[in-house]
């Protein structure tokens, strides 16, 4: 059974909460990584492609158990610039240039198979601090949306689905 859509007022409030939260996250990203948002998008895309698979299967345990140190090099898998261009919608030449800069700056590694993250990811570029900041902001957004839903339930007298 399909849940009923959210009332227009709740949807509008959630939209404002999301936009405000995303603006805060983008501001934190710019402050952390420099305000080259194409480079940020490419960097994050490589991070997700390179080590994100650990979130999609039973290897999540490796992330938790490895909490005392960085993931070993073999857990950082390469991705092609073409795949990053397709994932981001950015021109391949832009992706190639930005990747070259990220490699030259030591934030990514490149070999014949593609580009990948390097061990110590959380300790680089302020990643750990940014992830903590973004996590707090996303939690704040979720709590604000839950508050809106509860307010709607109180004013309407029935639970919203």
What would the pLDDT profile of 35-46 be if each residue is shown by its tens digit? 999 999 999 999
Q: Give yes or no for residue 161 having a pLDDT over 70.
A: no
Q: Where do the domains of the chain lie, and which CATH numbers do they carry?
A: 8-156 (1.10.10.10)
150 in Cβ contact with 143 (< 8 Å) = no
Q: CA-CA distance, 46 to 114, in Å (whole number)? A: 10
Give me the pLDDT at residue 154, please: 78
Note the pTM of the prediction, 2 decimals.
0.82
């Amino acid at each position: 059974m399909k849940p009923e859509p959210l009332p227009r007022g709740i949807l509008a409030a959630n939209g404002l909460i999301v936009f405000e939260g995303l603006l805060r996250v983008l501001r934190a990203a710019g402050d952390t990584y420099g305000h080259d948002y194409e480079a940020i998008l490419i960097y994050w895309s490589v991070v997700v492609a390179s080590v994100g698979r650990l979130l999609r299967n039973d290897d999540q345990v490796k992330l938790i158990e490895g909490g005392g140190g960085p993931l070993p090099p073999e857990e950082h898998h390469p991705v092609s610039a073409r795949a990053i261009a397709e994932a981001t919608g950015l021109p391949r030449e832009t992706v190639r240039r930005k990747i070259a800069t990220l490699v030259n700056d030591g934030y990514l590694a490149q070999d014949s198979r593609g580009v990948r993250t390097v061990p110590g990811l959380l300790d680089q570029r302020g990643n750990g601090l940014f992830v903590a900041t973004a996590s707090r902001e996303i939690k704040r957004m979720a709590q604000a949306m839950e508050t809106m839903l509860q307010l709607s339930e109180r004013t309407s007298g029935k639970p919203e689905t």
